[in-house]
Amino acid sequence: MEKRTITPVILCGGSGTRLWPKSRRMLPKQLLSLTGEQTMLQQTLERVRCYSKPIVVCNEDHRFMVAQQAREIGFDDLTIIIEPIGRNTAPAIAFAALAAIQNKGDTNLLVLPADHLLDDVEQFYKAVDKGLQTSTEGGLVTFGIVPTAPETGYGYIQMAREDAGGVRRIARFVEKPDLETAQNYLDGGSYYWNAGMFLFRAKAFMSELASYAPVIAEASESTVKNAVVESDFVRLQKKDVEIIPEDSIDYAVMEKTTVGYVIPLDCGWSDVGSWSSLWEALDKDEQGNVALGDVIMEDCKNSLVFGEDHLVAAVGIDDLVVVDTKNATLVAPKSRAQEVKAIVSKLKTDGRDEHELHREVVRPWGKYDSIGSGPRFQVKRITVNPGASLSLQMHHHRAEHWVVVSGTAIVERDGEEIMLSENESVYIPIGTKHRLTNPGLLPLELIEVQSGSYLGEDDIVRFEDIYGRSKK
């Protein structure tokens, strides 16, 4: 059957807290390059290039990064649905299904998380081809990963005994088991890991959703009907989304439907859900170590060491995870890597921002790196992309001094326009309306020195913004 009858739906939400401190709320694992040069989102997009134009569902904070990463690999024309708040996978898939129906009438949806690894893509394609007939006839197909170990961190799907060309009915879904139960599942041969990948017709899914979760179905229809389409994005309205109940596709539909099917998939799959699972997924040296970044290891075994921007050296460690970033470092036994979520929770409770922000922060116009700070001052290195512009803004509590390192800048300051070149500078007093633009073809690099009584990022009043960000 023609591959173009399939529309990929890529779910790009989630915060990947178990891969902290590399993965954070504002830059989660699906937008990171953890297993190669491409990010996990880009790898997923490459995997579905042979199908129709994808639909990506992501949250408000990540929309520009998703669009940029898609453009970097040649996906200039895809639908990006923006969720102002997350409501789990059932509503997210409903948004995509309804958008697909609006644009195409009906289509087979191939639903994939953006943050999974597949070593054997050909096996994945064969499984999708195998399920396409069932999907086209109205069945809801999921793909069960052939288990390789008694894994307690995954949910499981049990297959029924009858077989229709490798496509079997779902007997039941089961929650994450204890070790003894997981071993029994592995020995029994009829249980598979639940990877959250699905294939079904858009209208068939919406019909089942209306039967088993009618409130979600009805509210999702109203939400998509009221959505605002702007450039690359389909923007859902917060007032519509926040009344939709949170629920997963498993609970809302798949555990209840009578037309659920499962196809076994053996493709070297990993959800890269923790540092230990990343260690398992990557190639290792003769001592079982994984070194990422500028790392030197001496007499170390079965460990993962990650260095972001400077040398990390390890001596005599065994079965450890060491992750060093610009503003946070994690050290943990590999066997307890899942417990990093407790650190993230503590950071939130203590009001610290390391759970959501790196020192280097990506913005739609470029990025900034907070390279130094102290009482009443902060120093940032700012990069503005070619043709990009910051919002027209002002600050109540801080003044700024900009020094151009390379490139050309146009600075708007209380209605006055100033052109700056390399080694030139400008001063922005407190309360002054200002905007920074890069008119050139190369990135603009500058140093910003902030001074004042309060230097938080929430001291920004926006008057105009080409990226549609809220005025604060």
Q: Is 221 helix (H, G, I), strand (E, B) or coil?
A: helix
In a 13 Å sphere around the CA of 186, the CA atoms on its Cβ side amount to 14
H/E stretch holding 301: none
pLDDT reported for residue 472 = 52
**Token digits for 352?**
């610290």
Whether residue 129 contacts residue 2, with contact meaning beta carbons closer than 8 Å, is answered with no
Residue type at 178 in one-letter notation: D
Whether residue 115 contacts residue 271, with contact meaning beta carbons closer than 8 Å, is answered with yes
| Residue 449 CB neighbour total at 10 angstroms | 16
Whether residue 173 contacts residue 248, with contact meaning beta carbons closer than 8 Å, is answered with no
CA–CA gap between residue 426 and residue 444 (Å, rounded): 15
Terminal Cα-to-Cα distance of the chain (whole angstroms): 51
pLDDT reported for residue 115 = 93
Question: Looking only at Cα atoms, what is the longest distance across the chain?
Answer: 76
Whether residue 271 contacts residue 197, with contact meaning beta carbons closer than 8 Å, is answered with no
Burial classification of residue 406, based on how many CB atoms lie within 10 Å of its CB (0-12 exposed, 13-18 middle, 19 or more buried) = middle
pLDDT reported for residue 265 = 95
pLDDT reported for residue 218 = 98
Whether residue 443 contacts residue 405, with contact meaning beta carbons closer than 8 Å, is answered with no
Q: Who contacts 386 (Cβ-Cβ below 8 Å, separation ≥6)?
A: 438, 440, 441, 442, 443, 444
pLDDT reported for residue 166 = 72
- Phi, psi for residue 383 in degrees, rounded to 5: -120, 120
Segments in the chain below pLDDT 70: 1-4, 162-165, 471-472
pLDDT reported for residue 318 = 98
Q: Is 267 helix (H, G, I), strand (E, B) or coil?
A: coil
pLDDT reported for residue 165 = 63
Q: Is 200 helix (H, G, I), strand (E, B) or coil?
A: strand
Q: What is the pTM of this model?
A: 0.90
Q: With DSSP H G I counted as helix, E B as strand and the rest as coil, what are the percentages for the chain, rounded to 5?
A: 25, 35, 40
Q: Could you tell me the domains of the chain? A: 3-270 (3.90.550.10), 285-343 (no CATH), 360-464 (2.60.120.10)
| Residue 342 CB neighbour total at 10 angstroms | 11
pLDDT reported for residue 179 = 92
CA–CA gap between residue 376 and residue 379 (Å, rounded): 11
Q: Who contacts 182 (Cβ-Cβ below 8 Å, separation ≥6)?
A: 150, 151, 152, 156
CA–CA gap between residue 258 and residue 18 (Å, rounded): 35
pLDDT reported for residue 51 = 95
> Which has the closest alpha carbon to 10: 110, 128, 122?
110
CA–CA gap between residue 394 and residue 191 (Å, rounded): 58
pLDDT reported for residue 217 = 98
Whose structure tokens read 């019909």?
207
Q: Give 158's strand partners.
A: 172, 191
Cis peptide before 54 (omega within 30 of 0): no
